[in-house]
């Protein structure tokens, strides 16, 4: 499945009925904990949309100010992503500013979106960040699970027709919920990514610094609090980890990543009754989320529990029969088990459902571009 770029460290990811957080800190205790976590950090001065004079000069030399919107977009896309031009490519685990992405000639979808928006605005094109609610996907990094989200660039032609730029190979916008976000919110997501990446690389001080800046910009950002909890846990400051996870759930009652992390923390501390209560909430989601079951199937197969993997895949299909990825996974499973006939049947089912869903344009020059009409919900 595709990878998107708002990266969130987690041990499990869920979304179901609304839980109640045990956020019962009094004002004095809360202030003390906040100070211990955030300290006296000053807000980040980073500008993710800044361009260098050299980039601006290049844009001026290649794109005429009097051109139409369509001409400018075509020229900009070819310049940034054409194989015979800058050939900037997707790199899932590399969060950079617009300038950093240009210099590295690569970046994740948030990075590439930042560069496109910065360049587009410089040549007087309408361009904005937009998040997209996509089905959760997971990766595993050591003992840490990672949930990905997606962000794209959008803008308007004369007459109100919308264009879309995305940088993932399988993404389809369709009727998924979208939200325009401000540049400041995009910066918050950028800092959250840097914090999450630093956790994965063991750079906990860098993680705390970036996550603190993200929280200062957007104190209600639940995912940054969840990641802060992961950082605090890795420093052995379990009271701060608990507070951060609780704060994440307080800000977003649907943040089951934080609830799962709380369950693991309480279990590690021997607080069995609390761990069980949170685990029960999380398990309700796990049993009903087909995408999590797909991840569990992949993990079970890797560990040699083949029949268990088969059952996870079948359950995923029962829960969402129109998802091609589940049939492809089951086809691959049958292939590996030497069950050729069943593998072909599942592959054919995947094709049946794939052809029945909205297809995005062909991917070219490391991105896809199309015009469409979608419902935009301003943040």
pLDDT in tens, 232-261: 999 999 999 999 999 999 998 878 788 889
Q: What's the pLDDT at 280?
A: 81
- Looking at the fold, whether 107 and 195 belong to one and the same domain comes out as yes
The parent domain of residue 343 ranges over 290-354
- Looking at the fold, whether 200 and 345 belong to one and the same domain comes out as no
- The string over 84-105, giving b where at least 16 C-beta atoms fall within 10 Å of a residue's C-beta and e elsewhere, is eebebbbbbbbbbbbbbbbeee
What average pLDDT does the structure give for the chain?
A: 83
pLDDT band at 379 (very low <50, low <70, confident <90, very high): very low
Q: Which residue has the higher pLDDT, 7 or 326?
A: 326
pLDDT tens digits, one per residue of 271-288: 988 888 888 877 777 777
- Looking at the fold, whether 10 and 83 belong to one and the same domain comes out as yes
Q: Worst-scoring range by mean pLDDT, 63-72, 170-179, 284-293?
A: 170-179
Q: What's the pLDDT at 78?
A: 93
Q: What's the pLDDT at 168?
A: 65
Q: Around 151, how many Cα atoms within 13 Å sit in the side-chain half-sphere? A: 30
What does residue 156 show for φ and ψ, rounded to 5 degrees? Answer: -130, 145
Q: Which residue has the higher pLDDT, 14 or 346?
A: 346
- Looking at the fold, whether 3 and 146 belong to one and the same domain comes out as yes
Which of 367, 6, 2 has the alpha carbon at shortest distance from 151? 6
- Looking at the fold, whether 241 and 205 belong to one and the same domain comes out as yes
- Looking at the fold, whether 305 and 368 belong to one and the same domain comes out as no
Q: What's the pLDDT at 109?
A: 86
pLDDT at 354 over 60: yes
Q: Which residue has the higher pLDDT, 121 or 298?
A: 121
- Looking at the fold, whether 244 and 346 belong to one and the same domain comes out as no
**Percent of the chain beyond pLDDT 70?**
80
Residues in the chain: 379
Q: What's the pLDDT at 135?
A: 57
Rounded distance, CA 196 to CA 122, Å?
Answer: 30
- Looking at the fold, whether 227 and 345 belong to one and the same domain comes out as no
Which of 115, 123, 182, 128 has the alpha carbon at shortest distance from 156? 128
For residue 43, give the DSSP letter.
Answer: P
pLDDT at 355 over 90: no
- Structurally, how many domains does the chain consist of? 2
Take residue 198 and report the two structure tokens written for it.
Answer: 């630093």
pLDDT at 94 over 90: no
- Looking at the fold, whether 225 and 302 belong to one and the same domain comes out as no
Q: Which residue has the higher pLDDT, 21 or 60?
A: 60
pLDDT at 322 over 70: yes
- Looking at the fold, whether 328 and 264 belong to one and the same domain comes out as no
Q: What's the pLDDT at 176?
A: 57
Rounded distance, CA 127 to CA 85, Å?
Answer: 22
CATH code for the domain in which residue 314 is found: 1.25.40.10
- Looking at the fold, whether 127 and 18 belong to one and the same domain comes out as yes
Query: Is-above-0.85 flag for pTM?
Result: no
Note whether 206 and 214 are within 8 A (CB).
no
- Looking at the fold, whether 218 and 303 belong to one and the same domain comes out as no
């Amino acid at each position: 499945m595709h990878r998107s770029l708002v990266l969130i460290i987690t041990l499990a990811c869920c979304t179901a009925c609304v839980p109640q957080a045990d956020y019962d800190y009094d004002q004095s205790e809360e202030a003390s904990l906040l100070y211990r976590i955030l300290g006296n950090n000053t807000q980040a001065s980073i500008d993710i949309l800044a361009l260098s004079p050299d980039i601006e000069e290049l844009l001026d030399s290649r794109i005429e100010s009097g051109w139409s919107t369509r001409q400018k977009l075509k020229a900009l896309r070819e310049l940034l992503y054409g194989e015979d031009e800058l050939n900037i490519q997707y790199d899932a685990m590399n969060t950079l500013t617009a300038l950093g992405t240009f210099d590295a000639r690569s970046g994740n979808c948030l990075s590439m979106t930042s560069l496109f928006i910065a360049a587009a605005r410089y040549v007087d094109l309408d361009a904005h960040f937009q998040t997209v609610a996509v089905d959760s996907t997971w990766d595993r990094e050591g003992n840490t699970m990672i949930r990905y989200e997606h962000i794209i660039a959008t803008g308007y032609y004369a007459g109100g027709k919308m264009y879309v730029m995305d940088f993932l190979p399988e993404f389809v916008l369709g009727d998924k919920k979208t939200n325009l976000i401000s540049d400041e919110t995009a910066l918050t997501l950028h800092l959250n990514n840097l914090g999450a990446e630093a956790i994965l690389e063991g750079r906990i001080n860098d993680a705390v610094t970036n996550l603190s800046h993200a929280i200062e910009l957007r104190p209600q950002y639940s995912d940054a609090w969840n990641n802060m909890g992961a950082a605090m846990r890795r420093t052995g400051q379990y009271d701060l980890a608990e507070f951060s996870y609780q704060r994440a759930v307080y800000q977003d009652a649907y943040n089951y990543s934080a609830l799962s992390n709380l369950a693991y923390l309480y279990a590690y501390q021997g607080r069995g009754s609390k761990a069980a209560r949170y685990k029960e909430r999380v398990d309700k989601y796990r049993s009903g989320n087909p995408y999590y079951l797909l991840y569990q199937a992949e993990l079970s197969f890797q560990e040699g529990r083949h029949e268990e993997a088969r059952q996870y895949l079948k359950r995923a299909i029962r829960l969402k029969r129109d998802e091609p990825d589940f049939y492809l996974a089951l086809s691959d499973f049958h292939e590996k088990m030497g069950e050729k006939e069943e593998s072909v049947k599942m592959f054919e089912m995947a094709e049946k459902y794939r052809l029945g869903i909205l297809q995005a344009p062909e991917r070219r020059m490391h991105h896809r571009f199309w015009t469409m009409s979608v419902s935009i919900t301003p943040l």
